[in-house]
Amino acid sequence: MKKHIPNVVTLLNLFSGCIAVLLAVNNNFIAAAGFVVLGIFFDFFDGLLARKLQVQSELGIQLDSLADMITSGLVPGIFMFKLLAMSSDSPDLISFSNEWNSVMHWNGFQFAPIALLGFFITMASAYRLAKFNIDQDQQSYFKGLPTPANTLLIISLPLIMEFQNNDLINSIILNSWFLIILTLVSSWLLVSSIKLFALKFKDWSFENNAMRYIFIILCLVLLIVLQFAAIPLIILVYLLLSLFSQSSIS
């Protein structure tokens, strides 16, 4: 019975992701983001439980990635699809061709073809998760941006628009070029081989975990000061700290 506990938690991650998909498709971004965060919470604790209970298994590893594919792969793709579709309703000064920027109708479903670029994130997430499963090196660090971190970055955009409600920030977020560049950069980061530190503590000493403690403190300060607008900055800080500490990541 004990060996099934982590898998049940993993399935709760998957269940949360399924609900988030339904909510995101129906433009309920706030509730969808809440279920994504809940899914990421379950994703963190299933591995922790497996290690504590000493019931790690190949089944658990595969199930974890399948659940992540929904919560941290499909959902951010839908978010970006929706954001790109919203941005195409108000063409930028540098506009796309009418073919890509105009709304297409297909069996009653309306969308701008440019919005399909959002699913690059979903495809990159699938590739990243598959690569992670067969890579034996990623035990104490990550190669490429973890899918949950990328998901938090993407889902933060509508949250910033809703709760920060700043006209300048909103105009940037709904700029088609900004969204396309972000999609391409985040997709590249997911499949890249850049070494990024993991928040896994072998002990609690500051000497061995200085970078992790500094990162956590910076995260708390940024969240208190900037609220949801802090999330993109936190991802940037995570990348910069990792890049500046490449020699010590192993």
The pLDDT score that the predictor gives to residue 1 is 73
Pick left, alpha or beta for residue 166 (phi over 0 → left; psi -120 to 50 → alpha; otherwise beta). beta
Binned at pLDDT 50, 70 and 90, residue 95 comes out as: very low
Per the DSSP assignment, residues forming a β-bridge with 110 are 105
Distance CA 156, CA 186 (A): 14
| pLDDT single digits (tens) 10-27 | 999 999 999 999 999 999
Binned at pLDDT 50, 70 and 90, residue 153 comes out as: very high
Domains within the chain, CATH numbers bracketed: 2-94+105-196 (1.20.120.1760)
List the structure tokens of 100: 């890509």
The pLDDT score that the predictor gives to residue 110 is 67
Q: Which residues lie closer than 8 Å to 241 by C-beta, 6 or more apart?
A: 197, 211, 214, 215
The pLDDT score that the predictor gives to residue 84 is 94
Which segment of 33-42, 135-144, 175-184, 232-241 scores lowest on mean pLDDT?
135-144
| Range 168-194 average pLDDT | 95
Residue 202, classified by CB atoms within 10 Å of its CB into exposed (0-12), middle (13-18) or buried (19+), is exposed
136 or 151: which carries more pLDDT confidence? 151
| Range 140-148 average pLDDT | 90
Residue with tokens 């706030």: 30
110 or 191: which carries more pLDDT confidence? 191
The pLDDT score that the predictor gives to residue 91 is 44
| Range 242-248 average pLDDT | 78
| Range 109-124 average pLDDT | 88
The pLDDT score that the predictor gives to residue 205 is 77
Binned at pLDDT 50, 70 and 90, residue 6 comes out as: confident
Residue 142 Cα to chain centre, angstroms: 14
| Range 58-62 average pLDDT | 86
CA angle 39–10–37, rounded 5-degree value: 10
| Global confidence as pTM | 0.88
The pLDDT score that the predictor gives to residue 219 is 95
Q: Are 250 and 138 in contact (CB under 8 A)?
A: no
Q: Is the pLDDT of residue 249 over 90?
A: no
The pLDDT score that the predictor gives to residue 111 is 66
Q: Is the pLDDT of residue 94 over 50?
A: no
The pLDDT score that the predictor gives to residue 244 is 84
The pLDDT score that the predictor gives to residue 101 is 52
The pLDDT score that the predictor gives to residue 35 is 98
The pLDDT score that the predictor gives to residue 103 is 54
Q: Is the pLDDT of residue 168 over 80?
A: yes
Task: Please tell me the total number of residues recorded for the chain in this structure.
Answer: 250
